Amino acid sequence: MRINHLTLHNFRNYADLSLAFSHNINIFLGNNAQGKTNILEAIYIGAMGRSYRTYSDQELIRWKHSLGRIQLNFSRLDVQNDLAFRFSQGETKKSNKEITYNGYTIKVKELIGALNVVLFAPEDLTLIKGQPVARRQFIDVEISQASPSYYSQLLTYNRIVTQRNHLLKKIRDNRLNAAMLEPWDEQLIKAAAGITVKRKEAIKKLAMLANLMHRRITASKENLSVAYFMAGMAENEQVADKDLPVWYREQLLKLRQQDIYRGSTGIGPHRDDLVFTVNEGIQLKSFGSQGQQRTAVLALKLAELEFIKSETGEYPVLLLDDVMSELDAERREQLLFFIKDKIQTFVTATDQNYFPEKKMGHYYYVQNGKVME
């Protein structure tokens, strides 16, 4: 997968920008707050339909303007594709977004999987020791790009949980009878089981790839394990995939009064987590050093590239947003060695010395919304 050309109009701090890209490594150098990350953000929006930096599309439109655009031309399995995003600001100050894919207007859920990217940003280095929501988002984004149908499943599940939580609050306030939960529980059970099976399958494959990458980075000194943890499941409890609906039904009944009291659903994929261990079961979140945690995250990101390639037939585009300054020289070298000549990569950095070879990639210099090659 390759991005050939990007055009921006009134996007962030860019009035107008038109860039053609190398199919190898594209390096954007410059001081902070000049617009380097905005370019990566635009590419990420092309893949996911949303920013990774803000929840508000309105913030994407250049200051004091009412219309912003992103246009991308990319190759997928050697077929040319065009994507366009139009952000407009109405009287309500809320941005309206229109997505066009090869000339057809589509919704975000139809976009996922068209252009695949892997983002590695400084906040990802806290993936292991951070909150479970970040780890759930990591696996959901990865699977959704490889299997767009999963993204639809996830949207359906989230709607069910939202409706069930709304119902729980009404039951708690004595406005509805608890029997009203039955049909929603059945929908949740079916959706939860499907998502859990898909996540477990993906983690099994990802864990193998991550361990291979981790052994390469650490010169075979450590083994990395990644496991899927289901909320509400005992430490040594095992449930076969075919028995998940029965298990979820039992858990929902057991937690019903507690769910009503809290007004929220306490069991399901929205509560699950990933657990990372090294060697003989040492949990990285609680007992791993910062160096071990960062090495594990790097291995996980490299594994994510391989996972998407194995599922789709080609590598995704890699976005490295200001992450070079957060890695030591050895990890930077491992990362650059892995991606060079096989993965189209977009890198932002403030210092050219982070790159060991003068011809490591194609360099762009960014200053105040202007890009010079």
Looking at residue 92, its pLDDT comes to 58
Q: How far apart are CA 179 and CA 163, in angstroms?
A: 15
Mean pLDDT of the chain: 94
Percent of the chain having pLDDT more than 70? 98
pLDDT at residue 308, rounded to an integer: 96
| 14-20, strands of its sheet edge to edge | 14-20, 2-11, 67-76, 79-89, 95-101, 104-106
Residue 340: what pLDDT?
A: 87
CA distances to 89, 96, 166, 265, 327 from 122, in Å = 31, 30, 36, 32, 9
Q: What pLDDT was estimated at residue 93?
A: 55
Say what the pLDDT of residue 23 is: 94
Residue 101 has pLDDT above 90, yes or no: yes
Q: What pLDDT shows up at residue 331?
A: 87
Query: Which is it for the CA torsion 213, 218, 221, 227, positive or negative?
Result: negative
Q: Identify whether the C-beta of residue 9 lies closer than 8 Å to the C-beta of residue 25.
A: no
Could you tell me the pLDDT band of residue 38, with boundaries at 50, 70 and 90? very high
Q: What is the pLDDT of residue 279?
A: 86
What is d(CA 291, CA 3) in angstroms, rounded to the nearest whole number?
A: 33
319: β partners: 119, 346
Q: Are the C-beta atoms of residues 347 and 324 closer than 8 Å to each other?
A: yes
Q: What pLDDT, on the 0 to 100 scale, is given for residue 91?
A: 60
- Measured distance CA(340)–CA(82) in Å, rounded: 26
State pTM to two decimals: 0.93
pLDDT per residue as tens digits for the range 347-364: 999 999 898 766 778 999
Share of the chain above pLDDT 90, in %: 83
Exposed, middle or buried by CB within 10 Å (0-12, 13-18, 19+), for 248? buried
Mean pLDDT of 88-108: 85
Q: How confident is the model at residue 95 (pLDDT cuts 50, 70, 90)?
A: low
The pLDDT tens digits for 44-76 are 999 999 999 999 999 999 998 999 999 999 999
Parallel/antiparallel/unpaired status of strands 104-106 and 117-120: unpaired
What residues are designated binding site for ATP?
Answer: 30-37
Mean pLDDT of 78-94: 85
Domains delineated in the chain: 1-116+353-372 (3.40.50.300), 122-313 (1.20.1050.90)
Q: Identify the weakest region by mean pLDDT among 103-117, 212-226, 264-278, 315-329.
A: 212-226
How far apart CA 211 and CA 299 sit, in angstroms, is 7
Residue 94: predicted pLDDT: 60
DSSP 165-179: HHHHHHHHTTSS-GG
126-175: per-residue pLDDT in tens? 999 999 999 999 999 999 999 999 999 999 999 999 999 999 999 999 98
Q: Which residue has the tokens 């995939």?
A: 241
pLDDT band, very low/low/confident/very high, at 281 (cuts 50, 70, 90): confident
Pairing of strands 273-278, 224-229: antiparallel
Residue 293 has pLDDT above 80, yes or no: yes
Q: Which residues are annotated as a binding site?
A: 30-37
Kindly state the average pLDDT of the residues 214-234: 90
pLDDT at 220: 75
**Mean local confidence (pLDDT), 253-279:** 96
